[in-house]
Structure 1
Amino acid sequence: MVSSDIPDMRTGFRLAEALAGAATALHAAEGPEQTMDTAVALAREIVPGTAEAGITLIERGTRVRTGACTTEAVRAVDAAQRSGPQRPAAPYWEALWERPVVRREDTARDPATEAAAKLGLRSLLSLRLSSGYRRLSILNLYASGADAFDDRAVRIGRLLAAHVSVALDSARVQEQLTEAMHTRDVIGQATGVLMAKLDLDAREAFRRLVRASQQENVKVRDIAFRVVETIGGGNGERGSGID
């Protein structure tokens, strides 16, 4: 997943080589999940001081999940932001809606990051990957000691985060295009099945797919899959949701 021969950063040239290698590894990953797994592994190798890393995804302002992590302790830090009686009033990531970077020299001194300190993660460098309407993605870097991330680490972290952001956007667009093509194909198949089995024209067959989708509050794609698997598969109309 990650090249084992990424060079150290003793010179600017070697840093450039490391980032080029990171870009190659990120774009070679298949899909958003593998891209995030690659990103956190690269962060631990490239950004000075990093012991552990994770990608945190915030949706609708409050829903928090871990996209990838190098240790379960990172996942536990994210979990502390969304549950439990000691959930902080202002999450550690709140400032990242407005700022691209937030650095905490000692997580034990901030109620929002006490969970990290209790898990042995004393320094935190948070780098915004993307933000939108009530959606935020962050690359979080952790160290076991306090004040572990200096200005150089921040600069390198921001360069890596830029590569990760571009790679993730690309992976998500590719995934959406692939899903759209697959969805189009299965809806076309389902329409054809209904036309043949129920003696309908194309417009009426599609209308019935949409109506079943609305009645059951599921996507048209899912209704289409059901039609293809049940009616198209020779199992009759039972269970298809189409009448």
Structure 2
Amino acid sequence: MADYDAQAGRDPRAPAEPSQHRRESDEFDYHEGLRGVAGIVAGAGSVTELLSAVAQFAARAIPGVEGAGVALINPRVGLPSIQTWAATAGLVNEIDIVQYRDLHEGPCLTCMHSRRPTTSGSLGSDQRWPHFGGRVARMGVHSALSIPLIVGDRILGAINAYAANRDAFGEHAVRLGCEFAGPAAVAVYHAQLLAEARESAARLQRALDSRAVIDQAIGIIRSRSGASGEEAFARLTKISQNENVKLHIVAERLVDEAVRRARAQKP
């Protein structure tokens, strides 16, 4: 039996165990979804684009899903802050807005706190989320399955699956969902690492560009005034402080002005 948080008062074995034919079909869909995740190339798109792909493959891999989504925790803030999410359908996106922005409660947040899969077979009567459950049930969605995305000791976010029918996700769906979540978490983790590396490289390049233009401005001041490097830098700094403008912008202004003068003096 899978280890997960089920709704109190409802049979965790529901729905009935699928037939052999249904199991074979589910296993085929699961492996197709898994192959899709394995084929995702890190860096081929943004993290949000990768999340959209994972959500699509999750909807294929997990039995009973009518709409799926993937949410990521903001690593700088942690729970309950959600940094970004992607969904396979507009209704799922509406549910996620209710969960993350409006009410700050729901199966996804619960599963990320507990680090265990969380299911609900009747959201409207689920006492764990009295506000979220009723609101989503009125949208025509009654079953939910949320599975945490974990790499090592780090929780990245969760996969969320929804269905209109009650008790849509039994142990069979939870098992396949958990098996799918492992490689999906690795794909998301690698995409995050690559995005962070790219951002760090971009910040470094911006810093190098700023340093270069500041050095050029210092050279211009020295050539005009005969000041030392320290004195020229102090003049730039003073202008920056007096005008409340960033130092590299002051430097760019000075360099641009020098270039315009040089061009104007050409015959």
TM-score normalised by length of structure 1: 0.71
Structure 1 residue runs without a partner (length 5+): 1-7, 217-222, 237-243
4+ residue runs over 6 A deviation = 131-135
Q: CA deviation at 1:102?
A: 0.4
Q: CA deviation at 1:97?
A: 1.4
Please give the residue correspondences for 1:25-174 in structure 2 after superposition, counting only pairs within 5 Å: 25=40, 27=42, 29-59=44-74, 60=77, 61-64=79-82, 66-82=84-100, 87=103, 91-92=106-107, 93-110=109-126, 111=130, 112-130=132-150, 137-174=157-194
Distance 1:161 1:131 in 2: 10
- Deviation string 1:180-215 (CA, Å, 9 cap, x unpaired) is 1222122111101101112357xx69xx6xx98xx8
Paired residues, number: 212
Distance 2:250 2:199 in 1: 17
Matched with 1:182 is 202
Q: CA deviation at 1:114?
A: 2.2
Contact 1:66 1:75 in 2 (8 A): no
Contact 2:151 2:186 in 1 (8 A): no
Q: Which amino acid in 1 is paired with 2:212?
A: G
- Deviation string 1:128-155 (CA, Å, 9 cap, x unpaired) is 1149999751110001101111212111
Distance 2:81 2:30 in 1: 35
Distance 2:150 2:251 in 1: 39
Structure 2 residue runs without a partner (length 5+): 1-22, 220-228, 259-267
Name the SS for the 2:69 alignment partner.
Answer: strand
Matched with 1:240 is none
Name the SS for the 1:146 alignment partner.
Answer: coil
Contact 1:52 1:143 in 2 (8 A): yes
- 1:28 and 1:160, CA in 2 relative to 1: closer, same or farther beyond 3 A? farther
Q: Which amino acid in 2 is paired with 1:159?
A: E
- 1:169 and 1:235, CA in 2 relative to 1: closer, same or farther beyond 3 A? farther
Contact 2:69 2:86 in 1 (8 A): yes
Contact 2:59 2:68 in 1 (8 A): yes
Q: CA deviation at 1:38?
A: 0.1
Q: Which amino acid in 2 is paired with 1:31?
A: S
Distance 1:76 1:98 in 2: 24
- 1:137 and 1:17, CA in 2 relative to 1: closer, same or farther beyond 3 A? closer
Distance 2:146 2:193 in 1: 25
Q: CA deviation at 1:158?
A: 1.1
- Deviation string 1:20-71 (CA, Å, 9 cap, x unpaired) is 3331136474231111010111111221100001123444433346510112
Matched with 1:3 is none
Matched with 1:239 is none
Name the SS for the 2:145 alignment partner.
Answer: strand
The structure having more radius of gyration, on CA atoms, is 2
Distance 2:206 2:43 in 1: 28
Matched with 1:234 is 256
Q: Which amino acid in 1 is paired with 2:134?
A: E
Q: CA deviation at 1:76?
A: 2.0
Q: Which amino acid in 1 is paired with 2:81?
A: R
Structure 1 or 2: more helix by fraction: 2
- 1:66 and 1:179, CA in 2 relative to 1: closer, same or farther beyond 3 A? closer
Identity of aligned residues (%): 23
Q: Which amino acid in 1 is paired with 2:121?
A: E
